[in-house]
Structure 1
Amino acid sequence: MYEMESSGKIARSHNTVWSVVKSVLRKDGPLRFYHGLSSTLLREVPGYFLFFGASGRSKDELGPVPLMLSGGVGGICLWLAVYPVDCVKSRIQVLSMSGKQAGFIGTFISIVKNEGITASYSGLKPTMIRVFPANRALFLAYEYSRKLMMSQFEAY
């Protein structure tokens, strides 16, 4: 929103979350909030299958180090598998601001035709740098929080 305001495409009064929600509802109706749902599902379903299936062992059998490694590897598996889909989804979001997006397949074909298949992995390196430590911490925090809550629940 800041970039659009700076470029003069929107007024300062139209840069809040509520102003955007009202504008979308007025202009396109409530279904517009689900625009891009198919590409999001195409990214999330296989991605999280790989994310949570990376270790191949029961999570209760894992200590902290294997748990963190599983989280890091799971995150890498997720993003390697879904990054092209995420790239297309992001491009659709940007292009829809100008009314020029052509849907998932059309956008993907356009990227490959005009920029090559490697363009669908543009930005992967910083994502991979972020993914491993972030998902290590996520897995560890989630599992230890779950174990703590379960032990407190069983005590009652």
Structure 2
Amino acid sequence: MGDAAQDLDAKGGALDTAKDLFAGAAGGIAQVLIGQPFDIVKVRLQTSAAYSSALDAAASIYAKEGPLAFYKGTLTPLLGIGACVSIQFGAFGYARRYFEAANTRSPSGSKELGYGQYFAAGSFAGVANSVISGPIEHVRIRLQTQPHGAARLYAGPFDCIRQLSARAGVLGGLYRGEVVTIWREAAAYGTWFLTFEYLMNADVARNRLASRADVPSWKVALYGGLAGEALWLASYPLDVVKSKMQTDGFGKDMRYRSMRDCFAQTWRAEGARGFWKGIGPTLLRAMPVSAGTFAVVEATMRAIS
């Protein structure tokens, strides 16, 4: 492992990582602006029984809270998701280069990654990302699900952070649901990067292209969108549990004592269907959001390479 890490440094890994981080930040901004309206509908469906469908939830939000309600809690992800996606692509790029360096020392001498390595690199990126995505998503979900108007609980993201930390400390409050977040991120981003890399590599081989830079932008977006669908299908039950835990009360009002307890209660109360509530709007959101993210990241990488 040490030899491979030295090879990374010798090949200018720091500069490559900086490029990955920058491109990821650009992709993250696009991701938030495209996906936030879909996301608030998903969270409302996951955490409330008041809506019969995604359309009903969207219509209710619009009628009772106005069009700007679809961007409730946007400041936190706009600041944070750019950082999250930056970390995702930076960590994935680092792990990919580590595997490439290790592979060149194998008997075959080929630096090409196997698909198990792509999944491992993506999972590494997800776990690295979870350190900041956990609290960012917790704050966003609290803001998205709080009452409207004078009954609201939080004045904004910073007030929400303050109140959560005051109620149960940083770990028990702000980082509530972090264990399930780590599991979700590992499964989600392992699948996300694996799917995208497989589709891009298959296109290069099928059309006998010189490199992936020759793949048309519309195909990059399409493959990114399909990767987004795969991401959520691989991780959605974990996301449901995370959302339930991050909208739960504190102290005597706490319903779920742990990730395992939340899984058990959801299964008893709702069966398997309970783990897929809100999947419709999530998959609708995933295609444009993930397509936009990969399209922006690939375009940025091509521009700065």
TM-score by length of 1: 0.81
Instruction: Name 1:110's counterpart in structure 2.
Output: 265
| Same amino acid, percent of matched pairs | 23
When the two chains are superposed, the root-mean-square deviation of aligned CA atoms in Å is 2.4
Corresponding residue to 1:21 among 157, 161, 167: 161
Corresponding residue to 2:180 among 20, 24, 39: 39
Question: Unmatched 5+ residue regions in structure 2?
Answer: 1-142, 205-211
Query: Which stretch has the larger CA shift, 53-62 or 110-119?
Result: 53-62
Alignment of 1:63-102 (within 5 A): 63-97=216-250, 98-102=253-257
Distance of aligned partners of 1:9 and 1:131 in 2 relative to their CA distance in 1, 3 Å threshold: closer
Report the Cα offset of residue 8 of structure 1: 5.2
Instruction: Name 2:215's counterpart in structure 1.
Output: 62
Report the Cα offset of residue 100 of structure 1: 1.8
Report the Cα offset of residue 135 of structure 1: 1.2
Query: Which stretch has the larger CA shift, 72-81 or 31-40?
Result: 31-40
Q: Deviations over 1:91-147 (max 9, x none)?
A: 111223532222111111111111111110000011111111221121111101111
CA–CA distance in 1 between the matches of 2:188 and 2:303? 28
CA–CA distance in 2 between the matches of 1:25 and 1:3? 17
Q: Is the 8 A contact 1:83 1:124 kept in 2?
A: yes
Q: Deviations over 1:56-114 (max 9, x none)?
A: 11754532232122101110010001100000110111223532222111111111111
Distance of aligned partners of 1:107 and 1:144 in 2 relative to their CA distance in 1, 3 Å threshold: same
CA–CA distance in 2 between the matches of 1:78 and 1:124? 12
**SS of match in other structure, 2:248:** helix
CA–CA distance in 2 between the matches of 1:114 and 1:39? 20
**SS of match in other structure, 1:29:** helix
Report the Cα offset of residue 49 of structure 1: 1.0
Question: Unmatched 5+ residue regions in structure 1?
Answer: 151-156
Counterpart residue type for residue 281 of structure 2? P
CA–CA distance in 2 between the matches of 1:65 and 1:16? 38
Q: Is the 8 A contact 1:54 1:77 kept in 2?
A: yes
CA–CA distance in 2 between the matches of 1:48 and 1:142? 15
CA–CA distance in 2 between the matches of 1:91 and 1:27? 18
Report the Cα offset of residue 4 of structure 1: 4.1
Counterpart residue type for residue 264 of structure 2? I
Query: Which stretch has the larger CA shift, 57-66 or 86-95?
Result: 57-66
Q: Is the 8 A contact 1:73 1:132 kept in 2?
A: yes
Distance of aligned partners of 1:7 and 1:85 in 2 relative to their CA distance in 1, 3 Å threshold: farther
Instruction: Name 2:3's counterpart in structure 1.
Output: none
Q: Is the 8 A contact 2:176 2:245 kept in 1?
A: no
Report the Cα offset of residue 23 of structure 1: 2.9
Corresponding residue to 1:30 among 170, 188, 208: 170
CA–CA distance in 2 between the matches of 1:143 and 1:126? 26
Corresponding residue to 1:133 among 272, 288, 295: 288
Q: How many residues align?
A: 147
Counterpart residue type for residue 161 of structure 2? V
**SS of match in other structure, 2:297:** helix
Distance of aligned partners of 1:141 and 1:127 in 2 relative to their CA distance in 1, 3 Å threshold: same
